[in-house]
Amino acid sequence: MSYISWDKDKLVNLEFSLNREVLRSNSAGAFMATTLIGCNTRKYHGLLVVPQPQLDKNNHVLLSSLEETLIHNKEEFHLGVHMYPDGVFAPRGHKYLSEFTADPMPRLVYNIGNIKLTKELIFSNTEARIMVRYTMNETPEPVTLRVLPFLAFRNVHMLTHENHDASRKVELVKNGASWLLYKDYSRLFVQFSKSVEYTHIPHWYYNVFYIREQERGYEAQEDQFVPGFFEITMKQGDSVILTAGLEEKNPASIKRLCEAEEKKLLPQHDFEECLVKASQQFIIRNDEGTRLWAGFPWFGSCSRDMFLSLPGIALALGDERTFKESLDYLIERMKGPFFPHRYYQKSLYFTAVDSPLWFFWVLQLYEKMLGKDKKSIWRKYKEPMTTILESFIAGTDFNVKMQDNGLLYAGNSELALTWMNVFADGHPWTPRTGLAIEVNALWYNALRYAVELLKVADAKNPLIEKWQSVADKIETSFAETFYDAENCAFYDYVNGNERSALCVRT
């Protein structure tokens, strides 16, 4: 029995199955995401969601879904599931599902009378490619498998509708076909490990509905392009692999490729193994370097989230390579004392005052968890640490400046420099301008830790006295500024006479 598994009773219950999602990602930054039963409920769902750096810094949904049909004795059994407005589902292929397991890959079992079909989803570890293995476990006689690819070719944050710009052309390749709906996109190749018949009947499916987008207050309907369908006849014991990617493959290599990827899959026999496997899905390695994805399906790379996540994703597993390469990635992209906070379109933004201070915290854990010595840490990271502390003391971008009492002031009414960075109508919802409590706690910690390192690595360095003096001031001014003795609580932020609501009681 797989650690993560559900039976027919759960799978046919749409309230249950549509609220449980499947995610697989890889080091190339590509991913697949959908629900247990393969019905997409978000615009971010898709079987092949890939970066398109030639267009922007976002992911794009190329292959949204596959709709399979089994044809037996001239009867058609549709296995796919799509949601349409007003709670309409068509087809309702989930009614044939008998089992879902997740170890080592998502596996769906369909039962139609005396026919049993298994569908397994294997996502490549290194390239933008998904493999779907169909195995005919039981059938009294040959059955035809028909597969329709639903294409989107759009940014994950957008939706598409029928249009005349989408190319209806197809290029046939060995055991498959390829399409390029719009200029400047990567071409999508869908191929099979065995010979198949392709029928080109391009048409649009209208008003595919994403209920989670409606719940979030966004547009929730789109049209999807289906260029045609593939058919292959299968008998009992047969297995065929469909692969979708950005490059053409030799069909003779598809089975070996699938088996090689399967061997790389981490097990999920218990809760801890599930956590480890989940954590590894956030590591991106490509030509730009190594970094962590802040969250699927819509976040990108963010320095704050990287610093907070590295102890669990890398250090707890003894993965020093990922830790060091991730820090190198961020340090190489520093702008003054700031680390890149996020991408928007093709521009980097640095609006995070706490990220430079989390850098010191993560180095402390590096020392503690992997047993690194202070001298080596200072030698490797002294330049960014010095730049951060000295810039903050002197004053720098985004109105970040040290006050006479040693506390760190940051921002204005039009900036959101802390973790509360939601914007509405072009303005920050919670700017927290001034002295933020956690920023100043991190500021104090950064100064103290830098002094610790210097005393071991460079005991005569004059910065020791300077940074220690600032930290000593903060030791007094922190409580004076943030502690409300009358209510035994702390202020969230302070800006002159403005004090936020009480946040933490002692």
The token pair that represents 243 in the structure block: 């692969």
Q: What's the pTM? A: 0.90
385: left (phi over 0), alpha (psi -120 to 50) or beta: alpha
pLDDT at 36: 96
pLDDT higher than threshold 60 for residue 40 = yes
Whether the pLDDT of residue 345 is over 50: the answer is no
245 membership: H or E segment, kind and range:
strand 239-245
Contact between 153 and 181 (Cβ < 8 Å): yes
Q: How far apart are CA 95 and CA 8, in angstroms?
A: 8
In the numeric block, the tokens 């092949």 are attached to 48
Residue bearing the bigger pLDDT, 287 or 15? 15
- DSSP per-residue string spanning 94-106: GGGEEEEE-SSS-
Q: Residue 1: its pLDDT value, please?
A: 62
**CB-based burial label for 225 (10 Å; 0-12, 13-18, 19+):** buried
- Taking the alpha carbons at both ends of the chain, their separation in whole angstroms is 47
Q: And the tokens for 236?
A: 């009992």
**Rounded-to-integer distance, Cα 237 and Cα 216, Å:** 45
Domain regions of the chain by residue span: 5-264, 282-505
Q: What CATH topology corresponds to 5-264?
A: Beta-galactosidase; Chain A, domain 5 (2.70.98)
Separate counts of helices (H) and strands (E) for the chain: 11, 33
Q: What is the pLDDT of residues 126-144, one digit of tens each?
A: 999 999 999 999 999 999 9
Rounded Cα distance between 6 and 36, Å, is 9
The mean predicted confidence, pLDDT, of the chain is 94
- Predicted confidence (pLDDT) at residue 22 exceeds the cutoff of 50: yes
Q: What is the mean pLDDT of residues 469-486?
A: 94
Count of Cβ atoms closer than 10 Å to residue 229 Cβ: 18
Classify burial at 109, counting beta carbons within 10 Å of its beta carbon; exposed 0-12, middle 13-18, buried 19 or more: buried
CATH number among 1.50.10.10, 3.40.50.2300, 1.10.3210.50, 2.40.50.140, domain 282-505? 1.50.10.10
Residues 6+ apart with CB under 8 A from 77: 69, 70, 71, 93, 96, 112, 115
Q: Do domains 5-264 and 282-505 have the same CATH topology?
A: no
Say what the pLDDT of residue 165 is.
Answer: 96
